[in-house]
A and B are shown apart, each in its own frame.
Chain A
Amino acid sequence: MTTILTVPPSLDDGSFETLLQALAAVPDDVRVMLDARHTRWSTPYGLINLLTLAQARGDRPEFIPPEDSDTVSYWARAGFFRHAESLMKFTRPVPTKGKSGDSNFFLEITPIAQTEDVQHVVAHIQDRSKAIMETLGFPPSGSVGFSVVLSESCQNIIEHAGGPGWVAVQTYNWQKRLGRRVVVIAVSDSGVGFRTSLGQTVSRGATDRWDDAAALEAAVLRATSRFRDPGRGQGLAGIRKYMGKWDAKLTVRSGTARIGIIPKWDDDMALVEQLAPFAGAQYQIIIPQAVPS
């Protein structure tokens, strides 16, 4: 038996939750088919999490590609089909090889499995750092901070996930929502998630709650690490600091909860619980163009 799950026409962090809700109702032993025929647009978060979803299922779900040729072409240039090929069964041929790359993608979809992958990603983004800073209206000196945030986000996969993950960096115009361009970093893995990663070491009373939300609060707000060394846990704390500096938005989803560092320009909730369950951890960082003072 196969259950068909409809990929939303516009796939972002919000609409991806509807897909996960539908997936939650599907028993593990039932095959799924992801129907993206009517999908016209996706954020990098949406694309890499389709890969994570397939990775987490582990049974190569079937995938109906978008009907719109521009969307197919764009997803191909983002590297989506190339990576999805081993994780999904396409119902019709899609361009999995050939030229990738798009000027909007500062970093096309890239797998992260080992330290060298993070080195490669940081070196790659450094070549584009001037363009990123120009896009954001920040001084070029800020480019190192961008690389640091990217590095630390990716390292969480290697240090905590216990499995491979994905990263992508894209710019797009958020004209309707914000009236500015944004640069978005999306990182996702299908690993053990924060609750399991931190569960062994976080000290708590017998009656203290320990769930996905508590684990996210510990990691993101209190810089708790599964290692007892005081030098650990600095990565997420450092990312938070840059969020304030750039007036940027950070959300981290793990298991059934999502926590956010929400800037004034956004009305998202700081903590969302009882989401549909999903493997691993998912980060999204949205850095808006600076407003000239």
Chain B
Amino acid sequence: MLTPMPLDLRTALARTECDLYSNLVTRATGRAVRGQLETMLREMEGHRLAVLDFTHVGVLDFSCADEIVAQLLLRFGAGLPAHAPAPPPSPSYFMFRGLAEAHLEALEPVLEGHGLALVAEAEDGSMRLVGTVDADEQSTWQLVITSGGGDVAAIASFAVDVRVDLHARLEALARRRLVIQTPAGFHPLRHH
């Protein structure tokens, strides 16, 4: 079972020396905020779902998008490109909340530059993939969301094309930590 770990970016920013502002701009700020987040993550034992909340962030520039989001994913081996070597086992999954369109304008090219992908949750609870995902990954991930997760047969019952090797595709998504794999099957990232 994953332990949800809400991480308010404003709180992380407030712990840095850049706490006068609510904007995530400049590489130095990004490095400082990521340092805070890494400390907060290390403080928690076991498997965890880090929920990074951007709701109170005003401006996110390309530099901070890279230093915070991309570097965090790279360091924890989450969202890595499908062709990347398998990351070392890590107990960390990531979900991103409160990403406005303006944040995504900075974030998407940064993720694409690294071949990374992440799960973003909207205010209404709906989820989407952001970054580098191909059509197969997208449709498979959507199946997990629509089905609510379960074993392969349960997820396959929601598929239109049952000929595809769904298990391999689900495992690939799990390797990217865009879904969670347990002995019971494959599940969406959820924190409530």
Chain A interface residues (CB < 8 Å from chain B): 115-116, 118-120, 122-123, 126, 141, 144-145, 147-148, 151-152, 155, 158-159, 230-232, 234-235, 237-238, 241
Chain B interface residues (CB < 8 Å from chain A): 18, 20-21, 23, 25-29, 58-63, 65-66, 70-71, 100-103, 105-106, 109-110, 113-114
Chain A residues lying within 8 Å of B29, measured Cβ to Cβ, are 115, 119
Q: Write the chain A residue with the least CB distance to B23.
A: A122
Bound together, the chains give a CA A156 to CA B18 distance in angstroms of 19
Chain B residues lying within 8 Å of A232, measured Cβ to Cβ, are 66
Bound together, the chains give a CA A232 to CA B114 distance in angstroms of 10
Are the CB atoms of A115 and B61 closer together than 8 Å?
A: no
Are the CB atoms of B61 and A119 closer together than 8 Å?
A: no
Bound together, the chains give a CA A123 to CA B21 distance in angstroms of 7
Bound together, the chains give a CA A152 to CA B26 distance in angstroms of 8
Q: How far is the CB of B106 from chain A (nearest CB, A)?
A: 6
Are the CB atoms of A141 and B23 closer together than 8 Å?
A: no
Are the CB atoms of A115 and B113 closer together than 8 Å?
A: no
For A148, give its contact among B21, B27, B62, B66 (CB under 8 Å).
B62
Can you name 20 A-B pairs with beta carbons within 8 Å? A115-B29, A119-B23, A120-B21, A141-B102, A144-B103, A145-B102, A145-B105, A147-B25, A147-B59, A151-B26, A151-B59, A152-B63, A155-B61, A158-B28, A159-B27, A230-B114, A231-B71, A234-B62, A235-B62, A241-B109
Q: Which of B18, B59, B66, B101 has the most chain A CB atoms inside 10 A of its CB?
A: B59
Chain B residues lying within 8 Å of A122, measured Cβ to Cβ, are 21, 23, 25, 59
Bound together, the chains give a CA A231 to CA B112 distance in angstroms of 9
Q: How far is the CB of A126 from chain B (nearest CB, A)?
A: 6
Q: How far is the CB of B72 from chain A (nearest CB, A)?
A: 12
Q: How far is the CB of B112 from chain A (nearest CB, A)?
A: 10
For A158, give its contact among B26, B65, B71, B113 (CB under 8 Å).
B26
Bound together, the chains give a CA A238 to CA B63 distance in angstroms of 10
Q: How far is the CB of A50 from chain B (nearest CB, A)?
A: 27
Are the CB atoms of B66 and A234 closer together than 8 Å?
A: yes
Are the CB atoms of B21 and A234 closer together than 8 Å?
A: no
Are the CB atoms of B102 and A144 closer together than 8 Å?
A: yes
Chain B residues lying within 8 Å of A231, measured Cβ to Cβ, are 66, 70-71, 110, 113-114
Bound together, the chains give a CA A124 to CA B101 distance in angstroms of 22
Using known A-B contacts A119-B21, A147-B23, A147-B25, determine if residue A234 contacts B109 with beta carbons closer than 8 Å.
Answer: yes
Are the CB atoms of B27 and A155 closer together than 8 Å?
A: yes
Q: Write the chain A residue with the least CB distance to B74.
A: A231
Are the CB atoms of A144 and B113 closer together than 8 Å?
A: no
Are the CB atoms of A238 and B106 closer together than 8 Å?
A: yes
Q: How far is the CB of B21 from chain A (nearest CB, A)?
A: 5
Chain A residues lying within 8 Å of B58, measured Cβ to Cβ, are 126, 144, 147
Chain B residues lying within 8 Å of A119, measured Cβ to Cβ, are 18, 20-21, 23, 25-26, 29
Are the CB atoms of A152 and B102 closer together than 8 Å?
A: no
Q: How far is the CB of B76 from chain A (nearest CB, A)?
A: 15
Q: Which of A119, A158, A159 has the most chain B CB atoms inside 10 A of its CB?
A: A119
Are the CB atoms of B61 and A148 closer together than 8 Å?
A: yes
Q: How far is the CB of A243 from chain B (nearest CB, A)?
A: 13
Are the CB atoms of B18 and A116 closer together than 8 Å?
A: yes
Chain B residues lying within 8 Å of A148, measured Cβ to Cβ, are 25, 59-62, 102, 105-106
3 closest Cβ pairs, A-B complex: A144-B102, A231-B66, A115-B28
Are the CB atoms of B114 and A151 closer together than 8 Å?
A: no
Bound together, the chains give a CA A118 to CA B25 distance in angstroms of 8
